[in-house]
Structure 1
């Protein structure tokens, strides 16, 4: 099994163009932004973490039998001498905030497309679906050393701004990462997400969740108190199971996977051959257990916090997975 690097920026297996993301507008029309958390199914299109969240005050009217006493407008009641009730209307839009992992480990695949390409397409579909629903679209894109956020805005322009940031991000990050002092951890990314995702937002986090730890889970817990959160776990089939007995040669690009596949230190240079001997049963077992533990941790975290959880392989059709 060999994953060969194909030359040329037009190769949609290893990079994604703005045109590809724009063309997702039509298939995204059939995607509903409604997800069930693991612990319970949710009814209604928009789920709220707080009673009254997603509602705007409209007017105060004279109290009628059956009105909730908690909705009484005491100021108007005191001024008029007659009980009045606050009336609310549902907001017709909400912020949809999409966090996209573009760290080096996402630029890998043995089949299908790069995890980074899959993440970009998932983000594009979600952004267009939000636009079709009349929601505001914003997001976060993070690399190994750079993290940037886009404030939610209305309309097609907001989607195009977000998609352009995704498609051009790999080129923009090269110089930035060269000058960066230190790497950004997943927990730092989630801490920033708490600051930028407004209460009541629908938040998608698309990642392979490498580096998730107790502190990252704490940040997810804080985020889930104010927002509806959906975790989308992106992975390559090789990450879950190595091939059966034999020696296999892989290409490690940018030194990303040499360490995890060979059990040695990180590679240097743009490419490096990695030979994996799966006849070593202990190494094979350790490798598979590592993935299983990460998947189990994510599932348990989602269940505990009431988050929706979606798995998507590099060989899956992102449109069908979201539908």
Structure 2
């Protein structure tokens, strides 16, 4: 799969063999910024440590709750005041992938469909998680389906529903509400995870907002949105749209394009405001951005390892 083929695949419907080839891109994304998970006390340790476990960061004055084993006696003797070694540790990262596609995601003016780009990105995230030895759980909502996995799956088990999510026929069953923000075992008790939400949906009702607030209280949440800016730049005229149900004619005028763009921007600004209030990263990418480019940006933010 060449660079151009990844950006603009021959078909928006991806086969499982296409996901196998995404592993190369995941492997060569680069290195993630180093992130430490700080212990609540100098002596606290957590399970599932990677690498060498604890790493000393600095010294500070001894506190009553500190573990006596972490007192630096040499510095204490020199300064006359008890000093404690403060540690950080690299935990095994746990990632929760939530993808929710509307019927409008199965469209694109250039390169491919928005749905295809989301599915490619999900595949790269899955590969990268496996390559880094991290843990992944997921929930995929598309075409009337709701597929989830609480424990780290074998990649083929994930690639099969991702392949299904790319099928154009899914546009006939997509629901407008955000299914991924309804109670589900995969996210109900999620704690200390990097949560990546992939969706083209923009409306957050009160129930979804409350559930998202709960999710953001205990996890770091990244909201990834992919749009097609060319949708609002179509030359006025008649366009023939082909789908699995047949062909139809769509009339586009400059006025209708302006109204659609204004409505989209207003809704998107409202979404951004809601997410900012919940301290959630709102990341918007154009369809022209290759999937590995989006993944690399997520890597720079620490969303993927």
TM-score, normalisation: structure 2: 0.70
What is the CA–CA distance in structure 1 between the aligned matches of 2:126 and 2:191, rounded to whole Å? 19
Match among 267, 273, 292 for residue 300 of structure 1 = 273
Distance 1:207 1:94, change over 3 A: same
Q: Is the 8 A contact 1:56 1:91 kept in 2?
A: no
Deviation at 1:207, TM superposition (A): 0.9
Unmatched tracts of structure 2, length 5 or more? 1-8, 48-52, 69-83, 297-305
Aligned residues: 258
Deviation at 1:278, TM superposition (A): 1.2
Distance 1:184 1:289, change over 3 A: closer
Q: Is the 8 A contact 1:242 1:278 kept in 2?
A: no
SS in 1 for 2:183: helix
What is the CA–CA distance in structure 2 between the aligned matches of 1:33 and 1:305, rounded to whole Å? 28
Deviation at 1:21, TM superposition (A): 1.2
Match among 224, 243, 256 for residue 232 of structure 1 = 224
Residue deviations 1:20-75, cap 9 Å, x none?
112111211233696xxxxxxxx852678x958x951799xxxx9834444569xx
Residue deviations 1:163-198, cap 9 Å, x none?
222113567x97xx6xxxx95721x42123673462
Match of 1:126 in 2: 125
Match of 1:220 in 2: 212
Distance 1:103 1:243, change over 3 A: closer
SS in 2 for 1:109: coil
Match of 1:116 in 2: 115
Q: Is the 8 A contact 1:15 1:114 kept in 2?
A: no
What is the CA–CA distance in structure 1 between the aligned matches of 2:234 and 2:161, rounded to whole Å? 36
Residue deviations 1:115-149, cap 9 Å, x none?
11101111111111222222112211102422121
What is the CA–CA distance in structure 1 between the aligned matches of 2:60 and 2:250, rounded to whole Å? 76
Match of 1:104 in 2: 103
SS in 1 for 2:207: helix
Match of 1:16 in 2: 14
Unmatched tracts of structure 1, length 5 or more? 1-10, 35-42, 74-84, 255-269
SS in 1 for 2:150: strand
TM-score, normalisation: structure 1: 0.67
Match among 286, 289, 292 for residue 259 of structure 2 = 286
Match of 2:160 in 1: 164
What is the CA–CA distance in structure 2 between the aligned matches of 1:65 and 1:228, rounded to whole Å? 28
Q: Is the 8 A contact 2:228 2:286 kept in 1?
A: yes
Match of 1:56 in 2: 46
The answer as to 2:242 corresponding to 1:271 is no
Match of 1:3 in 2: none
What is the CA–CA distance in structure 2 between the aligned matches of 1:290 and 1:33, rounded to whole Å? 39
SS in 2 for 1:56: coil
